[in-house]
A and B are shown apart, each in its own frame.
Chain A
Amino acid sequence: MTDYPPANSEIAERLQQIADRSRELIIDLQRRSWAGGEAFDVEIANLSRAIGHLHRAAKALGVVESPGRSALTVAAASSAAFILTSAGVLLLVPEPGQPVSIVMAVIAGWFVAEAVGRVGVSSSWRRITAARDAPDDDQAPVHARIRRIQTAVDEIHSTMATGTDPAEDVRHARGWLALATETVPG
């Protein structure tokens, strides 16, 4: 059986996922330092540079960025509320063909959609802050987390055709990640 190299879109998606994980690690380190913990300046700076290269490589390979699931759900609920409310108002008014009636229906739909959006965002915030010990709030040592990212990038780099711009970007990202791990004690 022959192992085919992964398609560009798959590589792009994996690079994007690693960039997102790295970004979450940066946010975690930032919040820890604001709470009085270690600064991790060098690690944060090098991770950030690596993310820049990973994003560029993913973009060159055609990654499609999409908002998170929760944002998409809120947007979908809000749009549905708009359409249903506007249609409902048009069905109820005696003269739906009058511009004033249509405008009233659209404005009513807009207000309901806005309210649904606000409720969605606020319930999403309550849900996320209620999870005090979220499982993805990684408690592993920082160096182990950076090395995991490094390993994932190494794996992808080994499957990429050399000499291309995305491969060069991934190579640069590996360099910055190596600098980040060098500085982490333990």
Chain B
Amino acid sequence: MAVELGPFPLCPRCQETNGGLVAVRHRQVHVEIAGKQACVDQGLAGVIAALWPVCDTRSCCEDDDGRAYVVPTSETTDAAEAALTGLGLTVERTPEGVLHFTLPDRQAPVRTEPDSNLPGGSLLAAMAGARTAVAIAAARLDENTEGIGHPRVVEARELLAGAREALTAAMHRRVSLFRGGWGALRPGGVVIQVGLLAASCWLGARAAGAVSGGSTPWTIVGAVVGFAAIAWPIIHLTSVAETWLGSWTVAWLLRRRGRAVADALPVTEPAGVLAPLDVRMDDVRAAIAVARSRVAALATGYLSTRRPVPATTPAFVWMRDRDLEWRSIAMADLSLRQASDAIRLWSEFPRG
């Protein structure tokens, strides 16, 4: 028989394993950490994620007459009490081993927004600033969703990683010695391609000429084979070299401008694990909004360098198809919008 203690349903997995209990009083979040998993009240998700590595719990509630409680197993009550005290909570322990405590008021954790701006005002600096802002948002999502594997949360994580990769690709292309934004070869690319094509062609021609006894048609065929054999590896080689040299060049250029960005993140304050998850998710979305504003500024700056400046959708579609730098910026923007929306969807979803 289905037992409903409130309006908020458990996730389908927990509904099957909780002896008929299908809905409870507070919004649920399915937490999975340290080999344990269950739906818990969303206001306790952070606390439970901190407790399970050190203790086992049998029950918990975020608001029982204004106070929260957890019920650890008798063997782990001391560890649970110590962990809660370590989180800064004042714990009252009943003779039955129930740990009561009061959660702080519902307010977003106070944070100083780390500076992800870079001096210089160049597009490369703007890309680096946007990438750092995305990395900050990703780190904030990770620290606020520890142990949560909901598909929308996973989607948001993947999208933030995708946005960061896209911006990295844009930076590599910006400093590439081989190819420009539209794929046109730069002098370094011309040297590599012409050099390798000539060498491969020459070797093919020499080999075919030697085998055929100097026959002109066969020598030409050998040259064509040599050309064809190197054509695809050249594209791959150029991409690998672009990535490898790109990382190094980007780091060097940014360091030369007076700020070592690399992949190092500015130090942020620890996540407010005691805050309810919906408040913490607002915090994450705010970080994503910061990253989005950086990407939007980058997009506007990039567009202003195009001549003529594109004004119609077909022109933007054209750019998206042919301009790798632009495609990466547009993809980063799209990923950030989707990540923010995925978190919104998850926050509004009533089920655990």
Q: Interface of A with B (CB < 8 Å)?
A: 23-24, 26-28, 30-31, 33-34, 39, 41-42, 44-46, 48-49, 67-68, 71, 90, 96-100, 102-103, 106-107, 110, 114, 117-118, 121, 124-125, 128-129, 131-134, 136-138
Docked complex Cα distance between A169 and B2 (Å): 32
* Cβ B314 vs Cβ A136 within 8 A: yes
Mind listing 20 A-B residue pairs with CB under 8 Å?
A24-B317, A26-B334, A31-B313, A31-B316, A41-B340, A45-B340, A45-B341, A45-B342, A46-B341, A71-B321, A96-B216, A106-B197, A110-B193, A118-B184, A121-B183, A128-B314, A128-B315, A128-B318, A131-B314, A134-B313
Cα–Cα, bound, A103→B230 (Å): 14
Q: Does B219 contact A97, Cβ atoms closer than 8 Å?
A: yes
Structural contact, B194 and A107, CB atoms closer than 8 A:
yes
**B39 interface residue (CB < 8 Å to A):** no
B209, B317, B321, most chain A CB atoms within 10 A:
B317
Tell me whether A133 and B340 are in contact in the complex, defined as CB-CB below 8 angstroms, given that A48-B334, A71-B321, A97-B214 are known contacts: no
Which of the segments B116-124, B199-207, B248-256 contacts the partner chain? B199-207
Give B318 Cβ to nearest chain A Cβ, in Å. 5
Q: Is B220 a contact partner of A96 (Cβ separation < 8 A)?
A: yes
Asked if A102 and B220 sit within 8 Å, CB to CB, the answer is: yes
Interface on B for A, CB 8 Å cutoff?
A: 182-185, 190, 193-194, 197-198, 201-202, 205-206, 209, 214-216, 219-220, 223, 227, 296, 299-300, 303, 308, 310-318, 320-322, 330, 333-334, 337-338, 340-342, 344
Please report the C-alpha to C-alpha distance between residue A33 and residue B322 in the assembled complex, in whole angstroms. Answer: 22
Q: With A31-B316, A121-B184 in contact, do A99 and B334 touch (Cβ < 8 Å)?
A: no
Given contacts A97-B209, A97-B216, A134-B312, contact A102 B201 (CB under 8 A): yes
B113 to chain A, nearest CB (A): 21
- Which residues in B have their C-beta under 8 angstroms from that of A96? 216, 220
What would 19 more interface pairs be, CB under 8 Å, given A30-B334, A131-B312, A136-B314?
A: A23-B317, A30-B316, A30-B330, A31-B316, A34-B296, A34-B303, A45-B340, A49-B338, A96-B220, A97-B215, A97-B220, A99-B205, A99-B206, A102-B220, A106-B197, A107-B198, A124-B318, A128-B312, A128-B318
Inter-chain CA distance A100–B308, complex, in Å, is 43
* Complex Cα gap A140–B182 (Å): 31
**B219 to chain A: closest residue by CB:** A97
Evaluate contact between B205 and A90: CB separation under 8 angstroms.
Answer: no
Instruction: Decide yes or no: A136 and B313 within 8 Å by CB, A102-B220, A121-B182, A125-B318 being known contacts.
Output: yes
Pairwise interchain contact B312-A132, C-beta atoms closer than 8 A: yes
Q: Which residue of B lies closest to A82 (CB)?
A: B227
Q: Is the CB of B227 within 8 A of A106?
A: yes
List of A residues within 8 angstroms of B334 by Cβ: 26, 30, 44, 48
Provide the residues of chain A in CB contact with B300, threshold 8 Å.
34
From B183, B197, B337, contact of A45 by CB (8 A): B337
**Bound Cα distance A93, B331 (Å):** 50
Across the interface, which residues of A come within 8 angstroms of B320, CB to CB?
27
Docked complex Cα distance between A125 and B219 (Å): 40
Q: A27-B330, A44-B334 are in contact. Are A137 and B216 (CB under 8 A)?
A: no
Q: B74 to chain A: closest CB distance in Å?
A: 47
B residues less than 8 Å from A42 (CB atoms): 341, 344
Give min CB distance, B278 to chain A, whole Å.
18
Residues A44 and B337 in contact, CB atoms below 8 Å apart:
yes
Instruction: Give chain A residues whose Cβ lies under 8 Å from the Cβ of B185.
Output: 114
Question: In the complex the two chains form, what is the Cα distance from A136 to B315 in whole Å?
Answer: 11
Q: How far is the CA of A39 from the CA of B341 in the complex (A)?
A: 12
Residue of A nearest to B336 (CB): A41
Nearest chain A CB to B325 CB, angstrom units:
14
Q: What separation, in Å, do the CA atoms of A131 and B341 have in the docked complex?
A: 34
Please tell me if the beta carbons of A99 and B341 are within 8 angstroms of each other in the complex. no
Are A110 and B197 interface neighbours, CB within 8 A?
yes
Expressed in whole angstroms, the Cα–Cα distance for A28 and B182 within the complex equals 21
B135 to chain A, nearest CB (A): 21
User: Chain B contacts of A49 at CB under 8 A?
Assistant: 338
Given contacts A30-B330, A34-B300, contact A137 B209 (CB under 8 A): no
Residues on the B chain within 8 Å of A44, using CB: 334, 337-338
A41 CA to B289 CA in the complex, in Å?
Answer: 11
